[in-house]
Structure 1
Amino acid sequence: MAPSTRARRTTFDEVMEGAFRLAGEDRDRPMRLDLSIDLPGVLRPWSDTEGALTGHVRVPGWADDHSAAGRLRVAPLTARRIRYTMDFTGRDGRRLHLDGWKSIDPRRPVRSMTTLPVTVTGEDGTVAGEGLLRFDLRRDLARFIAGARFPGPDPMRSRWRGQAGRLEVWYTTLTDPVTGTGFWLHHELLAPAGGEARSHGWATVFPPGERPVLARFGPYGWDRPEAGFLAGPVAHVGDRLTGTAGTIAWSLRETGGGEPVHTFPRWAWESELLPAAQIVPRPSAVYDGVVRFGDRVLELDGAPGASARIYGHGNARRWAWLHADLGGGDVCEIVAAVSTRPGLNRLPPLPLVRLRVDGEDLATGDPLLAARRLKADIGLPAWTVRGRIGDRALLVEVTQHPEETVAVDYADPDGAPAVCHNSERADVRIVLARRAGRGWETEREWRLDGTGHAEVGLR
């Protein structure tokens, strides 16, 4: 059975502030936690539930980490406790662990629900400092209540339920608007036909005019996190993306994103009836933070990009993919693929296209049905998709320059190999035309010079 599409979650933001004293010091420093919480199910007073915790830890002169991540257990009646555990990095690069809990006292419900003693320790367990934080009811209660949400299932959560022969991917691509540098994060869960599931992936930086810099991480075991992806030092949980792989390290915050783009039909993602399906939960996201590679530092401020997901039985026999940020929330997402299934592997590539223009997704309706009127010619260094979407004609031309394309070895759950040729520096031309008499008239045209995100997979 696929995960329920009706399950709800509880999300909210919380600010805790107070005094914090470092070990060996005789004075307090201010401490502030800006937290985002994502709990499974609808939170009720009698609940005993645990979910993801991300946020910003600030202690002037000692810590200022936007990428803190951990867990929150909420059990106000069953255990009379709300416990916060979180890992973060100090200004000196030291990894630290925060542990604190609100001890719920029915005689003092308001005070006990808003007071949080915390202890911070180093990796060796040595106490680095202790503090007492409070939730400011007068200042933050109205904002706290107004910000609480009960959304449906998070498409960034893992869909794997222990089956053999499954492949699950979380990937993020972005472009630095200042330097034109592209960045690609690939997080993967591989459950082979035989053996234990493992998590691994890679990070790749695409400096303009240079060979891409790629580094892998893993493999690690899989602990089935409730939210996002966690593997060793690498995490994509909530709006935080952090990790290290070889000479590459990153700490990013993801904001915005717009409505999800269902490149495959919505039913295909929810039912898992096809060999694989893709969705773009955050098609127009913005990224802030730092990427370090070698001795270089890339500081990102408002970098456009997207985070997407894949789940299924493995990679296609042959495929092409494009994510093109067209500005103003407009995007073009393409997956054109040939299945590995017998019989289906003899068919031409099936192009699934979603072109979002002014908030409208073209073509409307089921992308599989719309694909019958489109044709994909997959190759390197250039590939195209052309045909009809609704009452319009579409032409997409993609060029992946060899010197700015990286070849990455893939493996299916059954061990079959594939090679992905990826570039986050692709050139893209998209033409949308309408009928004009007996011919066609260009309605919109977009050109991306080195900011398209594209790949071609071959076997």
Structure 2
Amino acid sequence: MPSSERANLPRWKGQQGYFEIWFLCVLDPGGERAWWFRYTLFTPAPGAPGGPRAMLWAASFDCASSTPALALKAIHPLSRFVANATGRFGIRIGDAELAPGRCHGRVESGGHSIAWDLRSTPEAGEAVRRTPRGANLLPLPTQVAHSQDDMRFSGTVTVDGHPYEVQGAPGLQKHLWGHRRLEELTWLYVPRFQEDADARLEALSVLPRRSVLSPRLTPIYLRTGATEHRFHEAPGLLFTHMEAPRAGALRFRARSATVAVEGRAWCDPRTLVGYVYRDPTGWDVHVAQSDVATCELELFTRPHPFAAWRPDGRLTSTVGALEFHAPEPLEGVRYIGWDDTSVREPGGAPPAAAEGAG
């Protein structure tokens, strides 16, 4: 079995106080459109409010549209989550499916709809690592598997009845699971740059808990046509930094003894969609995301650790995704509540959830 399939196999064994997530980013090569799909199961901790559920989430981004970002969610009884019984990877939530090389589904709420029917290449391959070596062996409250990178998607995404043909769209697919949400997280993903067709960037900054002495980690991975820069490994991990100076923007830097990177990323705040995620114990985290973000970075090198830094190139993204997690909402972003399925209009009633959902 390819390692990407092993990385995707469900970890939930029926326990309470647990969540599991499979998500995909699909970025149209032109950079003006993108889509995001998420298959989720959730069980509350003993004594926590609500009940178990399975959920489908979808977001559509279109810079040329009068509605540049649309986000929807469907809530199902947990009984509608089904895993492949053959031992190979494959999951279903109702009529929606995610399996090697294919995914499809539909979410409809609040007078809007998003449907997808996509194929991906490669169908299965090797999982990649963008976190410190050995992190998967630690008893962390949230685990992540970067199941597949350098994917290409083709097929159709239909938004409010309008079909969009997807051809060779770059993207990725990840798998997360655990028993406690991370309180703060910022994520940047850029699979394509103008100046270097082989360049890839993924940058993450995470603070698991604010209330204890929890270290903030900022693993950054950069690949160019010439080499890989593994700032997600020690000792480079000790010299990385990321900050969000305003809503929808971030700055980051990383360096080793002879290579340094400085970059920034941003999005039009109108392209941010918002979701409320719930921890199994009952508290919430606010997540804002744009998959039509822009990134610029500069590279610097020096021949030895005591030499002066010299500019060594600039990269500008053609596509990119940004995500911000925090207990507090970002100013100006409208969020879909945990028990809602679309953004609640001012003074309006919440959209009805699926029958039997907790």
- TM class by shorter-chain length? 0.7 to 0.9
Q: Distance in 1 between matches of 2:143 and 2:130?
A: 8
Q: How does 1:379-458 map to 2 (within 5 A)?
A: 379-389=246-256, 391-435=258-302, 438-449=307-318, 451-458=319-326
Letter in structure 1 aligned against 2:121:
T
Contact kept, 8 Å, 2:5 with 2:147, in 1: the verdict is no
- Relative distance call for 1:312 and 1:433 in structure 2 (3 A) is farther
Q: Distance in 1 between matches of 2:221 and 2:129?
A: 8
- Relative distance call for 1:241 and 1:224 in structure 2 (3 A) is closer
SS of match in other structure, 2:134:
helix
Q: Distance in 2 between matches of 1:237 and 1:166?
A: 22
CA deviation vs aligned residue, 1:146-200 (integer Å, no higher than 9, x gap) = xxxx768621221223333222221111222257211111222223213864321
- Relative distance call for 1:361 and 1:155 in structure 2 (3 A) is farther
| Map of 1:147 onto structure 2 | none
Q: How far is 1:298 from its partner?
A: 0.6
Q: Distance in 1 between matches of 2:4 and 2:316?
A: 36
SS of match in other structure, 2:45:
coil
| Map of 2:130 onto structure 1 | 263
- Relative distance call for 1:367 and 1:187 in structure 2 (3 A) is farther
Q: How far is 1:369 from its partner?
A: 4.9
- 2:14 is aligned, of 141, 162, 165, to 162
Q: Distance in 2 between matches of 1:440 and 1:371?
A: 19
**2:96 matched to 1:234?**
yes
SS of match in other structure, 1:154:
helix
Q: Distance in 1 between matches of 2:161 and 2:3?
A: 42
Q: Distance in 2 between matches of 1:359 and 1:312?
A: 37
Q: Distance in 1 between matches of 2:308 and 2:278?
A: 46
The answer for unaligned runs of 5 or more in structure 2 is: 328-358
Q: Distance in 2 between matches of 1:456 and 1:152?
A: 26
| Map of 1:199 onto structure 2 | 54
CA deviation vs aligned residue, 1:16-73 (integer Å, no higher than 9, x gap) = xxxxxxxxxxxxxxxxxxxxxxxxxxxxxxxxxxxxxxxxxxxxxxxxxxxxxxxxxx
- Relative distance call for 1:243 and 1:368 in structure 2 (3 A) is farther
- 1:213 is aligned, of 66, 70, 92, to 70
Q: Distance in 1 between matches of 2:19 and 2:210?
A: 16
Contact kept, 8 Å, 2:220 with 2:254, in 1: the verdict is no
Q: How does 1:312-331 map to 2 (within 5 A)?
A: 312-326=178-192, 328-331=197-200
CA deviation vs aligned residue, 1:290-327 (integer Å, no higher than 9, x gap) = 00011311101111111112222332211100110135
| Map of 1:181 onto structure 2 | 33
Letter in structure 2 aligned against 1:180:
E
Q: Distance in 1 between matches of 2:104 and 2:133?
A: 29
- 1:223 is aligned, of 51, 58, 82, to 82
CA deviation vs aligned residue, 1:57-104 (integer Å, no higher than 9, x gap) = xxxxxxxxxxxxxxxxxxxxxxxxxxxxxxxxxxxxxxxxxxxxxxxx
Q: Distance in 1 between matches of 2:128 and 2:298?
A: 20
SS of match in other structure, 2:10:
coil
Q: Distance in 2 between matches of 1:178 and 1:326?
A: 10
SS of match in other structure, 1:307:
strand
* Between structures 1 and 2, the one with greater strand share: 1
Q: Distance in 2 between matches of 1:281 and 1:259?
A: 7
Letter in structure 2 aligned against 1:216:
K
Q: Distance in 2 between matches of 1:403 and 1:456?
A: 15
Greater relative contact order (CA < 8 Å, ≥ 6 in sequence): 2
**2:212 matched to 1:332?**
no
- Relative distance call for 1:153 and 1:403 in structure 2 (3 A) is closer
Q: Distance in 1 between matches of 2:314 and 2:43?
A: 42
Give 4+ residue runs of structure 1 displaced > 6 Å after superposition: none
Q: How far is 1:439 from its partner?
A: 2.5
The answer for unaligned runs of 5 or more in structure 1 is: 1-8, 10-149
Contact kept, 8 Å, 1:386 with 1:396, in 2: the verdict is yes
Q: How far is 1:418 from its partner?
A: 1.0
Q: Distance in 2 between matches of 1:350 and 1:192?
A: 28
- 1:306 is aligned, of 172, 175, 179, to 172
SS of match in other structure, 1:439:
coil
SS of match in other structure, 2:302:
strand
CA deviation vs aligned residue, 1:219-271 (integer Å, no higher than 9, x gap) = 331334452432112211111110000111110001028753312235323x3
Higher Rg: 1
| Map of 2:147 onto structure 1 | 281
Contact kept, 8 Å, 1:395 with 1:430, in 2: the verdict is yes
Letter in structure 1 aligned against 2:37:
L
Q: Distance in 2 between matches of 1:420 and 1:360?
A: 33
Contact kept, 8 Å, 2:203 with 2:220, in 1: the verdict is yes
User: How many residues get paired?
Assistant: 306
CA deviation vs aligned residue, 1:207-226 (integer Å, no higher than 9, x gap) = 11443111112233133445
Q: Distance in 2 between matches of 1:248 and 1:352?
A: 33
Contact kept, 8 Å, 2:56 with 2:93, in 1: the verdict is no
Q: Distance in 1 between matches of 2:125 and 2:257?
A: 23
- RMSD of the TM alignment (CA)? 2.5
SS of match in other structure, 2:237:
helix
Contact kept, 8 Å, 2:44 with 2:51, in 1: the verdict is yes
- 2:222 is aligned, of 355, 367, 377, to 355
